[in-house]
Amino acid sequence: MKSLLITSALALALSCAMTYTASVQAGLEKQATQSTQLKKSAQAAVPANASKEMKSAVNDAKLASVNINKASVAQLQTLKGIGEAKAKAIVEYRKAHGKFKSKQELTQVKGIGEKLIAQNAQRISL
């Protein structure tokens, strides 16, 4: 009887864990999609008849600083030339090696070169 209760409890715990994991994954996918949409909209031209506030907001989004020691995958994707794969690589490098000590240390991440850093130099912060 005890083993049946333990088995049932373990099955319930496993089911809850799987549901939670699926929920977290869905949330991360939604965040990545929203980031991609934001990135695309920031790259799009602002209509000539847009309000001054709208033009300012779009320009602010294009110029927002990204702290490479704290940024999420989605936030890193707002940088020019950084897609999901490179953003994940940056986060993994950060987890393995600790905080970046300089912008140039980004070149240690596979797929990140001097040119990409130069394109985003004003937006990258530590």
- Average pLDDT rounded to a whole number, residues 70-93: 94
Helices (H), the chain: 2-43, 52-63, 73-76, 84-97, 114-119
User: Is the pTM of the predicted complex or chain greater than 0.85?
Assistant: no
Residue/partner pairs of 107-115 with CB below 8 Å, 24 or more apart = 111/85, 111/86, 112/86
pLDDT of 21 over the 70 cut: no
Provide the pLDDT for residue 19: 67
pLDDT in tens, 47-73: 666 676 666 665 555 568 999 999 999
HEC readout, 66-85: EECCCCCHHHHCCCCCCCHH
Separation between Cα atoms, residue 101 and residue 106, nearest integer Å: 9
Residues 6+ apart with CB under 8 A from 41: 58
Q: List the domains of the chain with CATH numbers.
A: 2-125 (1.10.150.280)
Residues listed for the chain: 126
